[in-house]
Structure 1
Amino acid sequence: MAVKTNGFVEGIWPEGLRKLLMSLASSWGEVFDVEGLKVVHLSGAMTNVVYTLSWPIKKVDGDDCGGGVRTVLVRVYGDGLDLFFNREEEIRTFECLSEHGYGPKLLGHFKVGRVEEFIYARTLSSADLRDPETAALIAAKMRDFHELEMPPPKEPLLWNRLRNWLSEAKDLCSPGDANEYKLHILEQEITLLEEAISMDHQEIGFCHNDMQYGNIMIDDNNSTITIIDYEYASYNPIAYDIANHFCEMAANYHTDTPHILDYTKYPGEEERKRFIRKYLSSSASETSVDQLADDVERYTLANHLFWGLWGLISAYVSHIEFDYKEYARQRFEQYWLRKLAILNGGVEAAMNPASDV
């Protein structure tokens, strides 16, 4: 089994995985067929390394079940993830969402990863996000997700997470990188941005916080959307989660240059409002649509800082093949380019002191 993180190399099993698979097969009244095992690496993941494992179903009594195949998903945790989120909390979130009927079931843990139920659905492509019918399904599913009752804390995590990640980035980065990415002024930017865009009218919900196309699946037979991968999920302003989804339309992680973002693909006003109308339901007033659309645009700034810091930290701790620094550079660049255009005049002056440029 090929694993390219946590020190594993081609042909070596992560500790405990083989034993776990044998135990699972036994619980299903089956025999784990190592000789017939097929391993497929799923590309596009930038936090973990993900595989599907398939093997012929063989019952303990020798029945081959008519040539049936058992498939599970194996997630090997990436390096340095404890800097981004608490793994125990993420697993509790995973289990709670499973109880709510969201995503795959957790089948078991091994030392550096876990085994999940395999969902027989298609992972979306970057192009799928632009399809109006698919976008409408995503909008409705996001609304359902945001309304979930999840364990506390139910306060927005965004701003504390940004400050924590900034502290980690300062500890990890070389002086040259710290200067290039302007880490010395980001604490001020985070504070001023929080004051500028956090408002009492904004709805707080349970947010996924990483609604890129690779974390959305669709069953083409019944048009059912499934949201997966909850590592970054927390309570946050719903406008932030929608902003993240819109920003992800600039990405295609299945190219020869997956780190390159194309912001000419960022959705225009008409497309954004069409999505928001579907999210709010057809009975929503245009005033409500306009207000949420405005809030979403403002939260794109926080989203650029969020993933910019994530990329910079990942460049120092991850062994996944991805140009994290260039990705971070593009996200920070978008923050500085769009800040003045998004924020209104009075806030612009406060957010752009001469020393920041």
Structure 2
Amino acid sequence: MVATLAVEVDGRTEVGLRSGARRILKHVRPNWPHDKLHFKTYTAGVTNILVGVWCESERDQVLVRVYGNNTHLFIDRQAEIKTMKVIHEASCGPEVYVAFTNGLCYAFTPGVPLTFKSVTHENVWRAVSKQVAKIHKIQTGDKRNPMLFPKLRQFLSLLPDAFSDAEKQKRVVASGCTKKKLSQMADELEGHLTPLGCPVVFCHNDLLVRNIIWDDDLKSVTFIDFEYAAPNHQPFDIANHFNEYSGMEELDWTRYPSPEVQRSWLRSYLAEYQGVAEDQVSVQDIELWRGWVTKFTLASHLLWGVWGLLQDCHSSLDFDYITYGISRIAEYKRRKEEIFRLDVAVKK
């Protein structure tokens, strides 16, 4: 069990964030001289607020994460803690030290987040592909029910029928992103993807580049932020990661991996997952997986498009969620007919 402290951290100001982090550190690192603590606020996230605290070495810092406003409505925080423990025991993620009223405190992962440039370097994407395969082989004991469509429908159930801001509601209607139309898209997509019979494994489900940490000393990667980790359709994780090459603040779909890059990535991934040499991975397997991954790019667009609209209703962070959500759904609609027509083998 992970202990829970009756401490609430005010993440709205730097003073409140540091004050709260000090209170947490009194329990987690009681021997550190608290008048000599160093702080670093990480601003890359679009859901939570994160601060690193250390005494002597920055590599030994402890992370204090304050949950985003109302994220408890669509993220099961107790399940997240259990998942992080399983992942840590599998040597694939950080140790959780303690929970508090509105957040978590856990170990720092040395390294730097990937960028849209570094993720394309061969030594990096190979490390990523192998780490994804390792994650997919973790046995959590959960029933193998994919989270994709239950999570999508949870997001939809929390979405208002109409935005209170008239200008935002006008944009939503004009872009065809009303709750009714999104629900129809979800039903249609589920009917298209489920018959493929893709394997269900433990997935990270949110492999954007900033959730992947590169350790240049070890030439290895570690994943962070397991808020959405759960059993899911295996190709979803890869499709979602490929989509994330395109960014968040400024989406650029030309950065999506080329067919040649996809094949190389999948060959590396399947070799690790199957426990064979790369030259033993069949061309047929690679092409099957490339088809599956292409299909599930639509699921990634729809899930995070709805998430963006939902976040716009709740988040206090400075990010243009509604533009992001509308853009993801626009890409779904742009690619849908082409991808639906794609002939992909059904898993027997």
| Pairwise same-fold verdict (TM > 0.5) | yes
Shift of residue 219, structure 1, vs aligned partner: 1.9
Alignment root-mean-square deviation, CA: 2.3
Q: Which residue of 2 aligns with 1:314?
A: 311
Closer/same/farther in 2, CA of residues 326 and 178 from structure 1, 3 Å limit = closer
Letter paired with 2:53: L
Q: Distance in 2 between matches of 1:10 and 1:339?
A: 44
The answer (yes or no) to whether the contact 1:301–1:335 under 8 Å persists in 2 is yes
Question: Which piece of structure 1 moves more, 100-109 or 142-151?
Answer: 100-109
Q: Distance in 1 between matches of 2:237 and 2:17?
A: 36
Superposed, 1:1-357 pairs within 5 Å as 8-13=12-17, 17-26=21-30, 30=31, 32-56=32-56, 70-171=60-161, 173-174=163-164, 175-176=169-170, 178-180=172-174, 181-251=177-247, 259-281=249-271, 282=278, 283-344=280-341
Closer/same/farther in 2, CA of residues 287 and 188 from structure 1, 3 Å limit = same
Q: Distance in 1 between matches of 2:297 and 2:309?
A: 18
Letter paired with 1:272: Q
- Structure 2 counterpart SS, 1:211: coil
Question: Which piece of structure 1 moves more, 172-181 or 94-103?
Answer: 172-181
State TM-score, norm by structure 2: 0.86
Q: Distance in 1 between matches of 2:29 and 2:267?
A: 46
- Structure 2 counterpart SS, 1:198: helix
**Which stretches of structure 1, 4 residues or longer, exceed 6 Å deviation after superposition?**
none
State TM-score, norm by structure 1: 0.84
- Structure 2 counterpart SS, 1:116: strand
Q: Distance in 1 between matches of 2:197 and 2:149?
A: 17
Closer/same/farther in 2, CA of residues 302 and 177 from structure 1, 3 Å limit = same
Closer/same/farther in 2, CA of residues 38 and 167 from structure 1, 3 Å limit = same
Tell which structure's C-alpha radius of gyration is larger.
Answer: 1
After superposition, what is the alpha-carbon deviation per residue over 1:31-84, rounded to whole angstroms, capped at 9, x for unaligned? x33332221111211111111112248xxxxxxxxxx98521111111111222
The answer (yes or no) to whether the contact 1:165–1:309 under 8 Å persists in 2 is yes
Q: Distance in 1 between matches of 2:212 and 2:60?
A: 23
- Structure 2 counterpart SS, 1:225: strand
Closer/same/farther in 2, CA of residues 345 and 112 from structure 1, 3 Å limit = closer
Structure 1 gap ranges (5+): 58-67, 252-257, 348-357
Structure 2 gap ranges (5+): 1-8, 272-277
The answer (yes or no) to whether the contact 2:129–2:268 under 8 Å persists in 1 is yes
Shift of residue 100, structure 1, vs aligned partner: 1.7
- Structure 2 counterpart SS, 1:152: coil
Shift of residue 173, structure 1, vs aligned partner: 3.1
Q: Distance in 1 between matches of 2:268 and 2:11?
A: 45
The answer (yes or no) to whether the contact 1:48–1:76 under 8 Å persists in 2 is yes
